[in-house]
Amino acid sequence: MEWFRNPQSKLETTLRLPILIKYSLILLVTRILPRLFIFGIIIYFMSGNLWLSATTAFLVTFLIEMFTLRAWLLNVILPRHLKNLETVRRMLNDLDKDSSADLIKKIEDSVKFSSWAIINIGYVALPSYGWEIIFKFAHKLLVGRAIPYQELLIGFYNKSIEADQALWKVAQERNVSRKSFLRSKFLNEYGSRVDDIDLSKPTLREQPQVVDQLIQLYKNTISPKARLQEAAAKRQKAEAELWSKLFIPKYLFLPFLRTVQKNVQLREDRRFWEFLMDFYIRQMLFKLAVLRGVKRQMIFTKSWRNLKHAATN
């Protein structure tokens, strides 16, 4: 398990975790179960077999989600998430004037937005990893082992490469004021990345010494974009080879391959979008720590209920 490397902080388990669980249940009840139920009923009326209707409904729902979740993310979830992010950003404007009670309200609202995003964007892991798993087996059946299937899925732009390229540009800049401008721009756009699902973990933009060391590391290296182009060339070569070894006509396989390629790109993007609010929530928590006379990092060792109780009484 890549995430949850350490036990989560008390604040995370008492503030965001319960809301994450709530939104998981909402997703299950409003999106997944209705589909399973409708398909199950239809197939049951057609077949009269409960076991068959249950398994077929599960398969149909799974396939529909695999084909539709990417569009759902891009057209429904992301626009709403970015709008929510703007709302959370605006909450920081009057932070100095806020009372403890105001801050409690702002933190709870922001954490709700953040949890909604983590669950809904997280659900898109289903097609982004699912398609690769399906492709791995289909590829073996239809092409054999001649071409490693992973070579067909590399060389696509994603948020991590975009961020790395922006950092690389900062490292190559020689003009001091321009470098400083690019550095700030990089942190504003890509600095919200975190190491784990835990509000106690600092975001990249809160670790200036790390950012400077990364910039140092990036001097005189090949650009991430150039590396991506190498990967894209490798993929194109693999595709050309694929068509000569395929057991079925190209026109049947091509739409499948493109669907898989489009969905696997979401793996890195998804993680970028999920934690965009953490930096802002942390700033509100630090402000609350100041108002309550608690040391900055100590606030993450408190339970939300206790903090809220102390702040509102």
Partner 1 sequence: MQQQIKGIPGSAGIAKGTAKIILSLGEIKNFRKGDILVTPATSPTWTPIIHTASAVVTNVGGALSHAAIVCREYGIPAVVGTTNATKIIKNNQQIQVDGSKGIITLF
Q: Which chain residues interact with partner 1 by CB under 8 A?
A: 1-3, 5, 129, 132-133, 148, 150, 153-155, 158-161, 163-164, 167, 193-196, 204, 207, 209-210, 213-214, 217-218, 220-221, 224, 227-228, 230-231, 234, 267-268, 271-272
CA distances 277 to 43, 185, 206, Å, are 43, 17, 13
Residue 102 or 198: the one with the smaller Cβ distance to partner 1 is 198
Smallest distance from the beta carbon of 136 to partner 1, in angstroms? 9
Compute the least distance from the CB of residue 231 to partner 1, in Å. Answer: 6
Q: Which DSSP string corresponds to 21-57?
A: HHHHHHHIIIIIHHHHHHHHHHHHHHH--HHHHHHHH
**Shortest distance (Å) from residue 189 CB to partner 1:** 13
Q: How far is the CB of 96 from partner 1 (least distance, A)?
A: 29
Please identify, using beta-carbon distances, which residue of 171 and 284 lies nearer to partner 1: 171
The distance of Cα 215 from the centroid of its chain, to the nearest Å, equals 24
Tell me which amino acid residue 168 is: W
> Smallest distance, Å, CB 172 to partner 1?
14
**CA nearest 183: which of 216, 157, 220?**
216
Nearer to partner 1, 105 or 225 (CB): 225
CB distance 15 to 103 below 8 Å: no
3-state secondary structure of 302: coil
Rounded to whole angstroms, how far apart are CA atoms 111 and 17?
10
Is 108 or 132 the residue whose CB approaches partner 1 more closely?
A: 132
Q: Closest CB to partner 1 among 98 and 278?
A: 278
Q: Provide the 8-state DSSP code for 9.
A: P
